[in-house]
Amino acid sequence: MPRTSRAVKMPIRSASVTDQIAVLLAEEDLIVRGGFNFEPEEDAPAKAVILVGHGGAGYWPHFAGWQRHNPHIANPLDTWSRIVIDRVAVAVGAWTAYPNDLPYLPFQQWAMRAEGLQASPLGILMHPRFGLWHAYRGALLFDREISIQAVATSNHLCGLCAEKPCLNSCPVGAFSGADYAVERCRSHVRKEGATCRDEGCIARNACPHDAYRYPADVQAFHMEAFI
């Protein structure tokens, strides 16, 4: 029997909360992206947080299948994420927060803390396994402490990268390593036939750590949302 189907049948009550969440998310190829307990003196929205997301685009067929049956919904990826992650929250007694909800919650700061990540020169966090090809779809918030340990800071791959092709490849020089010229980037991507629009951000694609690169159609979807 394949390992995944055995994992889905695991008796949920005997597993830790993180294991329960992982099992429920696996049905949609989403993953636990780490978590931590907030310090008591922090101005935090909860006592603990677990981040939900993906490395690579394994979630895409699940989302695309759902979208085929729900073709006219605005912000479809956000809506799908909400449906999936809200359901998990109910099962484990948590509530949810989403990266695009206003006011923005500091998802990247939480991710740095949960997964020991650091920012790439593009602003996107660099992951030791997924490279730049990962994102966060939501957060589970708890009014109790949970048993989870933040991951120690890993080797920062960008620190070992001398050439930094990400900084030399943007056709409009939007990334300086310190700043991101959002409007210059956006007005270029909006142009009909721009490679970044149809195949994804050229700077992000220049990163050599690309084993989990999203397929071009997935990148095009995200660029469309961006413009």
Question: Residues interacting with ligand B12, by CB under 6 A?
Answer: 99-100, 104-109, 122-125, 134-136, 180, 182, 185, 201, 204, 222-223, 226
Q: Which is nearer to ligand B12, 89 or 135 (CB)?
A: 135
Q: Please say which residue, 122 or 148, places its beta carbon nearer to ligand B12.
A: 122
Q: How far apart are CA 183 and CA 165, in angstroms?
A: 21
Q: Which two tokens stand for residue 112?
A: 């740095």
Rounded to 5 degrees, what angle do the CA atoms 196, 200, 202 make?
65
Whose CA is closest to 196, among 167, 164, 168, 219?
A: 219
Q: Residue 10 or 202: which CB sits closer to ligand B12?
A: 202
Which is closer to ligand B12, CB of 10 or CB of 172?
Answer: 172
The type of residue at 138 is G
**Rounded distance, CA 146 to CA 90, Å?**
16
CA distances from 140 to 33, 68, 135, 177, 201 (A): 11, 27, 15, 32, 29
CB of 2 to ligand B12, least distance (A): 29
Shortest approach of ligand B12 to residue 114 CB, angstroms?
A: 12
CB of 94 to ligand B12, least distance (A): 18
CB nearer to ligand B12: pick between 25 and 122:
122
Q: How far is the CB of 27 from ligand B12 (least distance, A)?
A: 20
The nearest distance, CB 118 to ligand B12, in angstroms, is 10
Contact in structure between 34 and 136 (CB atoms under 8 Å): no
